[in-house]
Amino acid sequence: MPTEKKEIAVFLGLRTVIYPAPDLDGAKAWWTALLGIAPYFDEPFYVGFDVAGYELALDPNGDPTAGPTTYWGVADLDAASAVMSGAGADVRSPIAEVGDSIRVATFADPTGNVVGLIENPHFQVVASPAGTGPGR
């Protein structure tokens, strides 16, 4: 029997993935060659690529052993943080403004997985190309 699709009211969809990049210049060169585009944001503390409307970022202060952090978009970070905490997630990094009215926070779920949340008033969903492949 099919189950009813349940929408998660807190999450708007995936928005950003941030990869640790202690060798920022090397990582930036590699991703630029792979993606075939230059970063739209390029500073010594953060490099960001716009990949089909989503953010692929490099953090020179990130820990490669911790892996990348994925951020789910939310409309109201304060409310979403309360929902996460109420569901048993622990605050890993509290709400912080990272510039241009963009706010982020990270949590650890009960099994220790990192869950990032991002409130980005500038994000716009880009229509995906038509096709019949998987996920279309």
Q: Phi and psi at residue 81, in whole multiples of 5°? A: -65, -40
Q: Averaged over 84-112, what is the pLDDT?
A: 95
pLDDT higher than 80, residue 133: no
Span 25-73, pLDDT tens digits: 999 999 999 999 999 999 999 999 999 889 999 999 999 999 999 999 9
Q: Which domain, by its residues, includes 107? A: 13-119
Nearest to 72 by CA among 57, 59, 60, 54: 54
65 vs 114: CA distance, rounded Å: 13
Confirm whether 42 is domain-assigned.
yes
Q: Phi and psi at residue 122, in whole multiples of 5°? A: -95, -10
Confirm whether 58 is domain-assigned.
yes
Q: Which CATH number fits the domain that encloses residue 45?
A: 3.10.180.10
Confirm whether 57 is domain-assigned.
yes
Confirm whether 6 is domain-assigned.
no
Q: How many domains does the chain have?
A: 1
Q: What is the pLDDT of residue 124?
A: 78
89 vs 58: CA distance, rounded Å: 25
Span 88-101, pLDDT tens digits: 999 999 999 999 99
What pairs with residue 107 in β-bridges?
Answer: 91, 115
Confirm whether 79 is domain-assigned.
yes
Label residue 3 by pLDDT band (50, 70, 90): low
Percentage of the chain lying above the pLDDT 70 cut: 85
pTM greater than 0.85? no
Confirm whether 86 is domain-assigned.
yes
Q: What is the pLDDT of residue 1?
A: 53
Those residues with Cβ within 8 angstroms of residue 103's Cβ, 6 or more apart along the chain or in another chain: 77, 95, 96, 97, 118, 119
Confirm whether 104 is domain-assigned.
yes
Going by DSSP bridges, is the β-strand pair 114-119/102-108 parallel, antiparallel, or unpaired?
A: antiparallel
Q: What is the pLDDT of residue 136?
A: 44
Confirm whether 20 is domain-assigned.
yes
